[in-house]
Amino acid sequence: MIYSLSDLLLMHRNSRASHIALIDGQQRLTYTQLIHQTEQFAAMLQARGVQRGDHIAVYLQRSIESVIALFAVWSLGGVVVIINDVLKNRQVNYIIDHSEASFLITDNRLLTSLTEISLNADRILTIDTEKNSDRSYTPTRIIGADLALIIYTSGSTGMPKGIMLSHNNLISGAFIISDYLRLTKDEIIISLLPLSFDYGLNQLLTALLVGGTLVIQRSVLPADICNTLKVEKVTGMGAVPMVWQQLAGNRSPFIKTQFPHLRYMTNTGGRMPENITKLFRQVHPHVQIFLMFGLTEAFRSTYLPPDQADVRPTSIGKAIPNVELLVLNEQGELCKPGEEGELVHRGANIAMGYWKDQENTSKRFRPAPFQQGKGGQPEIAVYSGDYVKTDEEGYIYFIGRKDQMIKSHGMRVSPEEIEDCIFASKMAAHAVAFAVPFDDVKSTIVIALVPSDPSSFSQKELNLYCKSQMPEYLRPDIIWQLESFPLTSSGKPDRVHLQEMYKERNNKS
């Protein structure tokens, strides 16, 4: 039985002993080697004073070393706080302080990038200099309900929130994903996403669950990704829309090369533009495309089966296994097909709430509608803040975030709807829509974009396209051309940062 994340690794001690578990460049670790190095690292942590329940910040590049650090902490009953290695001094210290981390695990390169750390020097462990202990460690009893991870995600307002996930949450997510992707022990999964992103971590956990192999890909340049897909005979890959857009570019070898071993692709972290889905279906017809949707507070919500990708490419699908999704109107009633409402998630994977934030926990994690828990205690559901609608067959369509909806000509408009229209023009490689106040009653719609071909891009041509293809309430008032986009730590376009950049630009002018 698998009760904890440590069990996920240790169950392969005999059955998959010589099989490759992790590939990182030229490094290759079998399950035996991974388990041995994890136990050595755990012994070192235990000797340094790490105890059950301690919060341990892990600030490392996605690597074999970071995987060893995660499982070493979990084997001691510690709580991992993953810090994305792209974050800087201010964000790193905020997470260390807010999470009440007892220790920081990092390396010398990242350590020198920090001007100061709010931990004593003896609480900072660098993998370059710390020597693994030859002594054995004493495993700690862990149960599924124990807190395993605090994962920090940026919201649309305020500082990042620390979402608390149990061992059960993470293991359940691994079982569910491996179920509908039909993963086997022969799986070779390429890792493109940060481990601080819930699906990036899930790829590691699902690979280990089935006894497969995870290939850590450092470079996200299309040519490098394609080389790894061929050399390592990768069977599955997952990415966010920004990466898929790069892979779909005219100069990308991804749309010109065949990958006979690639069995499936998964999208998460935002809606895949319809034209890219169609392109991939044309150039890689043997590859199954799973369009997924979710939020960290409940891990995944939906997936669209591959056989529906051509039929309803704009849908985010139906509920993942062991989950029920409800669409509620403002009166708390179930919405009819075609009626917009908030997506409410109940069942497996509901997080434990926000660390040290009871106010926002109470807002997002509330009693499930129409349900009565055991002993009269209400079952808790996640109120996502996402507006969606369903069709007559129950397939769900994303409208937009409750806190990002744009009012235009008396209509409620989602940024994603505007972005989809811009992508359909094939003039934009990347596009983000947002609104800025024009006066007390009107907003100006801005579309920030990176052109597909900067040398031939014409704002006049795009404006003409918008007038011919989009109703007036959807049309952007301003087209703001950029060379690149700021990204969040999980590789998504940073909408909030873009809005701030635009305001600063206007203030200067």
Query: Do 452 and 327 lie in a common domain?
Result: no
Is residue 314 assigned to a domain?
A: no
Q: Token pair of 230, please?
A: 């061929």
Query: Do 412 and 474 lie in a common domain?
Result: yes
Q: Are 175 and 299 contacting, i.e. CB atoms less than 8 angstroms apart?
A: no
Which of 166, 184, 201 is a domain's end point? 166
User: What whole-number distance in Å separates Cα of residue 267 and Cα of residue 234?
Assistant: 16
For helices 459-469 and 415-424, angle between their N-to-C axes, nearest 10 degrees: 110
- Per the structure, the complete domain to which residue 470 belongs is given by 405-508
Query: Do 453 and 341 lie in a common domain?
Result: no
Q: Are 272 and 241 contacting, i.e. CB atoms less than 8 angstroms apart?
A: yes
Query: Do 352 and 434 lie in a common domain?
Result: no
Is residue 332 assigned to a domain?
A: yes
Convert the pLDDT of each residue in 264-307 to its tens digit. 999 987 778 888 999 999 999 999 999 999 888 998 899 999 99
User: What whole-number distance in Å separates Cα of residue 202 and Cα of residue 188?
Assistant: 14
**What value does the mean pLDDT take over residues 212-231?**
97
Query: Do 52 and 160 lie in a common domain?
Result: yes
Whole-number percent of the chain with pLDDT over 90: 66
Is residue 223 assigned to a domain?
A: no
Query: Do 331 and 395 lie in a common domain?
Result: yes
Is residue 127 assigned to a domain?
A: yes
User: Does pLDDT of 133 surpass 70?
Assistant: no
Is residue 441 assigned to a domain?
A: yes
- So what's the pLDDT on residue 139? 83
The distance in angstroms from the start CA to the end CA of the chain is 63
- So what's the pLDDT on residue 41? 94
Query: Do 75 and 158 lie in a common domain?
Result: yes
- Could you tell me the CATH number of the domain that includes residue 345? 2.30.38.10
Among the ranges given (54-63, 145-154, 360-369, 499-508), the one the predictor scored with the smallest mean pLDDT: 499-508
- So what's the pLDDT on residue 441? 47
- Could you tell me the CATH number of the domain that includes residue 120? 3.40.50.12780
Query: Do 389 and 429 lie in a common domain?
Result: no
Is residue 235 assigned to a domain?
A: no
Is residue 300 assigned to a domain?
A: no
Q: Are 80 and 56 contacting, i.e. CB atoms less than 8 angstroms apart?
A: yes
- Could you tell me the CATH number of the domain that includes residue 465? 3.30.300.30
Query: Do 144 and 157 lie in a common domain?
Result: yes
Which of 355, 384, 400 is a domain's end point? 400
Query: Do 323 and 459 lie in a common domain?
Result: no
- So what's the pLDDT on residue 344? 96
Query: Do 437 and 462 lie in a common domain?
Result: yes
Give the DSSP letter of residue 132.
Answer: P
Cα dihedral 316, 147, 66, 113 in deg (nearest 10): 100
Is residue 480 assigned to a domain?
A: yes
- pLDDT category, 321, cuts 50, 70, 90? very high
Query: Do 124 and 37 lie in a common domain?
Result: yes
Which of 118, 144, 166 is a domain's end point? 166
Report how many domains make up the chain.
3
pTM of the model: 0.83
